[in-house]
Amino acid sequence: MSERTLIKNLAAANDGPVSVSGWVETVRDQKKVQFVVLRDESGAVQLVHPRAFGEDGSPLDDELADTISGLSQGTFLTATGELKHDERVKLGGVEVKLASLAIASVAIAETPIAADSSIDKRMDWRFLDLRRPEQNLIARVQTTFEHALRGYWNDNDFIEIHTPKLMASASESKAELFEVKYFEGKAFLAQSPQFFKQMAQPAGFGKVFEVGPAFRADPSFTSRHATEFTSVDAEISWIDSHEDVMTMHENLLVAGLTAVKEKHGDDIKALFDVEVTIPSTPFPRIPLAEAKRIVAEHGYEVPRHDDDMDPEGERRISAYVLEKFGHEFVFLTDYASSIRPFYHMRHDDDPGLTRSYDLIFNGVEISTGAQREHRVEVLEAQARDKGLDPEELGFYLDFFRYGVPPHGGFGMGLSRVMMLLLHQANLREVTYLFRGPTRLLP
């Protein structure tokens, strides 16, 4: 078997024999010469085959030409031939003059999706949609981003944990739980690793992180919601307030975005026309009440049906921060206890407010973080305030009965970060296989 060369490495290779493998993107079957654009996981290259003609100008029998004429888009094959550098070739400045083709798998000629297909249609045929260079880059950016996060955590002495996704009781709101049959009883799919990453604090682990699946039974059809998503979580001991969590969070994101810009910045600019910005620290911090006042002064009143910031308010405050501070991120802090989970610590001087934050990135919330309440008697009271039965939370409350340090952390949606980083309009574009209220396939 000849050694396969990745297409991205052809530019640096010497002219001469070469073998490349991938799938057919386009075929230009001209009278005198045939061109095939072959793509693999690293890029695309032009394959060239001049047709053979006799002295009288009549075409000669040419098995390779016949094979090329019959190629369908998506066919996987291996091409061998002579690599030639030619700056006139627009596709990478190289081309391969074909000697032979070995077809691995023939594709059906008529593809079920096109460039202008709807997003739902493309999701039906996601494995074909993922062949697009943009989708390949999204996956690579996410890989680099996650690797950089782990690098930061490793450099700062965090421990990686893998928490169970089957739970006996709710970690947040029962209204958003998926219930599943569990032998003779029932279980729930975890909405977050919240309880279990907190368990690491009395265990003495100090600082922990997890990147894993989470599930929300939220019948929402917006562009930024999913029923299954990848959650990026961290929890740290011995904090003074949620300010310590925000500092860790922003430093983590700077590490991730720096790695993305260094490795993929040029490609992101070419394919998405987006300039990756490495944010300065500290990120702007604005108490929620002040943020509402700011957007009101700029012409938008956040509806008063609850104490939260609505999506339009998030967009408005983000635009304000970008204009005033030149920053794509903003921490909104001090949310009302009425809309925060029972385990968020409340301010000593104002129990109506929590030591918590939401992180807004380019107009959309990507994360919630907080200092956790570690005093068991306060936790029990706050659980009752939320209509939860402390008896059902017994295993969780036990974490706090045998000593626990002050601690806090955050949970962040990975796909939302990717969506906003690359300025995509929908979470589905940056999720490998999306799950929503009406989608369980493919």
Region 220-233: what's the mean pLDDT? 95
Binding residues for L-aspartate: 172, 216, 368, 372
Region 231-246: what's the mean pLDDT? 98
Q: What is the pLDDT of residue 60?
A: 84
Q: What is the pLDDT of residue 53?
A: 86
pLDDT in tens, 401-418: 999 999 999 999 999 999
Grouping H, G, I as helix, E, B as strand and the rest as coil, residue 332 is: strand
> Kind and range of the H or E element at 187?
strand 185-189
Binding residues for ATP: 365, 413-416
Percent of the chain clearing pLDDT 90 (strictly above)? 91
Region 18-43: what's the mean pLDDT? 97
- List the beta bridge partners of residue 215: 228
State both tokens at 213.
């699946």
- Residue 43, pLDDT above cutoff 60: yes
pLDDT in tens, 285-303: 999 999 999 999 999 999 9
Least confident of 157-166, 171-180, 380-389, 433-442: 171-180
User: For residue 144, how many other CB atoms are within 10 A of its CB?
Assistant: 17
Domains 7-105 and 127-430 share a fold: no
- Residue 313, pLDDT above cutoff 50: yes
Q: What is the pLDDT of residue 173?
A: 59
Region 333-348: what's the mean pLDDT? 96
List for the chain the helix, strand, coil content (%; round to 5): 35, 30, 40
Q: Give the pLDDT band (50/70/90) at residue 361.
A: very high
**What would the CATH number be for the domain defined by 127-430?**
3.30.930.10
- Residue 61, pLDDT above cutoff 90: no
pLDDT in tens, 120-166: 999 999 999 999 999 999 999 999 999 999 999 999 999 999 999 99
pLDDT in tens, 158-190: 999 999 999 987 656 566 899 999 999 999 999
- Residue 1, pLDDT above cutoff 50: no
Architecture of the CATH domain 7-105: Beta Barrel (2.40)
Q: Give the pLDDT band (50/70/90) at residue 280.
A: very high
In this structure, are residues 10 and 94 in contact, taking their beta carbons and an 8 Å threshold?
Answer: yes
Domain layout of the chain by residue ranges: 7-105, 127-430
The predicted model scores a pTM of 0.95
What whole-number distance in Å separates Cα of residue 74 and Cα of residue 106? Answer: 8
Q: What is the pLDDT of residue 162?
A: 98
- Residue 56, pLDDT above cutoff 90: no
- Mean pLDDT rounded to a whole number for the chain: 95
Q: What is the signed CA dihedral for 79, 82, 85, 89, rounded to 10 degrees? A: -50
What whole-number distance in Å separates Cα of residue 336 and Cα of residue 346? Answer: 9
Q: What is the pLDDT of residue 171?
A: 59
Closest-CA residue to 258 (of 170, 144, 169): 144
Closest-CA residue to 230 (of 331, 367, 325, 348): 367
- Residue 394, pLDDT above cutoff 50: yes
In this structure, are residues 238 and 197 in contact, taking their beta carbons and an 8 Å threshold?
Answer: no
Binding residues: 172, 216, 365, 368, 372, 413-416
